[in-house]
Structure 1
Amino acid sequence: MAIILPSLPFEKNALEPYISSLTLEYHYGKHHNTYVVNTNNLIKETELDTLSLEEIILLTANDSTKTSLFNNAAQVWNHTFYWNSLKPNGGGLPTGEIAKKIDTDFGSYDNFAKELKESALGQFGSGWAWLVLKNGKLSISKTSNADTPIAHGVKPILCIDVWEHAYYLDYKNARADYADAVIKNLLNWEFANRNLEG
């Protein structure tokens, strides 16, 4: 089956002033789309071209002969998850089950927000900061480049993209300001609750 570029769950200007429509033109329209095109080219006329994106990721995660395919497929998946981790007028205090779980597993929302920001800043070079559910407990993790929690049997709940193309047009080298903006104003708690339940 062909891997498709999913529609954004919001308009390209909907995250302003925190993430500009110009950033989304490049980040979604160029970077994310290129990963989709590359993945389709790499699976074309192979035994993988009938598989789902998740199946491709799991089959290629530890295969050094398929690193390029893993990188592109995982980036398609990671970016789609990232867009859904954001919403206009999001952020702030969580609600629902995720709020209770954050209090239980981190002690407080402030502790959670501090750890997520530290993970985003502590990721050297390109990568991702994640809120994940592992062994029934929420925790913060980070992955380099295209790596993704699903390749390790870990359930992602929310993420922040910390590749430079996610923020450089808007924030230059101020990754901390970008991470703050996402956490305080854009995190999609409804998406987090759905992931916690699913």
Structure 2
Amino acid sequence: MTMFELPELPYAYNALEPVMDEATLHFHHDKHHATYTANLNRALESHPELAEKSIRYLIAHLNLLPEDIRGAVRNNGGGYFNHALFWDMMAPEGSTSFGGPVAGQIEKDFGSFEEFKKKFSAAAVSQFGSGWAWLVWNKDHLEVLSTANQDNPLTEGKKPLLALDVWEHAYYLQYQNRRPDFVEAFFRIINWDYVNELFEDAKKSRKCGAAE
């Protein structure tokens, strides 16, 4: 059975400071992401027929999975995949900047970067309890949405381009109950280079009719 592995962070644990401190990254990556990884592998042990399936396939086709592991894959597979995206969607402050094809699409679909930021921030701040805020590509346009727990837009056929984890473990050590401050600070460490890569891939797969 192919086992999913905990990906290493693409930067040092202190590289996102002062926006996200070293203690939070250790706790978030080494504990929470590691637990989702272990639980996902445990859930899949009883179904070797799924050994060759990618995590994108599993998340996008939850309704096709065996019922006895569907919930575990939704929660733990979602946690594994969402966090793997999340780490790459961030970069040290000042290392990337807003621009490229996705910038043009944001201006087209939202009117301006500021309008997009308002919508994305509102989705993150207003998400009740645990969940995520997302920028997604939906067929031919961008959308902002939020999901509960570890759900992912792939299950709705939408392609994630940018995500913000608003579970308390993502920010509470540093920001306590000040989620709006965390959301505002997040915009300083977005990896726009990676967002553009995901945007180009999303458009390409749509044109080619590629399956996940």
1:91 offset after TM fit, Å? 8.8
Report the Cα distance in structure 1 between the residues aligned to 2:175 and 2:64, rounded to whole angstroms: 35
Secondary structure at 2:142 match in 1? strand
Report the Cα distance in structure 2 between the residues aligned to 1:148 and 1:18, rounded to whole angstroms: 24
1:3/1:40 contact within 8 Å kept: yes
1:119/1:129 contact within 8 Å kept: yes
Q: TM-score scaled to structure 2, two decimals? A: 0.88
1:106 offset after TM fit, Å? 0.6
Give CA deviations for 1:67-123 in whole Å, capped at 9, x if unaligned. Answer: 122210111000011111111015996111111111111101100111110000111
Q: Structure 1 pair 135/51, CA: closer, same or farther in 2 (3 Å)?
A: closer
Q: Higher mean Cα deviation, 41-50 or 115-124? A: 41-50
Q: Structure 1 pair 81/138, CA: closer, same or farther in 2 (3 Å)?
A: same
The answer for the alignment partner of 1:56 in structure 2 is 58
Give CA deviations for 1:109-141 in whole Å, capped at 9, x if unaligned. Answer: 100111110000111000000011112111101
Q: Structure 1 pair 133/59, CA: closer, same or farther in 2 (3 Å)?
A: closer
* Aligned 1:47-196 pairs, distance under 5 A: 47-61=49-63, 65=68, 66-90=70-94, 94-183=98-187, 185-196=188-199
1:91/1:187 contact within 8 Å kept: no
Percent of aligned pairs with the same amino acid: 39
Matched residue count? 197
User: Which segments of 5 or more consecutive residues in structure 1 lack a partner in the other structure?
Assistant: none
1:61/1:70 contact within 8 Å kept: no
Q: Which amino acid aligns with 1:8?
A: L
Secondary structure at 1:2 match in 2? coil
Report the Cα distance in structure 2 between the residues aligned to 1:194 and 1:134, rounded to whole angstroms: 16
User: What RMSD, in angstroms, separates the aligned Cα atoms of the two structures?
Assistant: 1.7
Give CA deviations for 1:174-198 in whole Å, capped at 9, x if unaligned. Answer: 0000000001x11111011101111
Q: TM-score scaled to structure 1, two decimals? A: 0.94
Give CA deviations for 1:144-197 in whole Å, capped at 9, x if unaligned. Answer: 0011011111011111000000000010000000000001x1111101110111
User: Which segments of 5 or more consecutive residues in structure 2 lack a partner in the other structure?
Assistant: 202-212
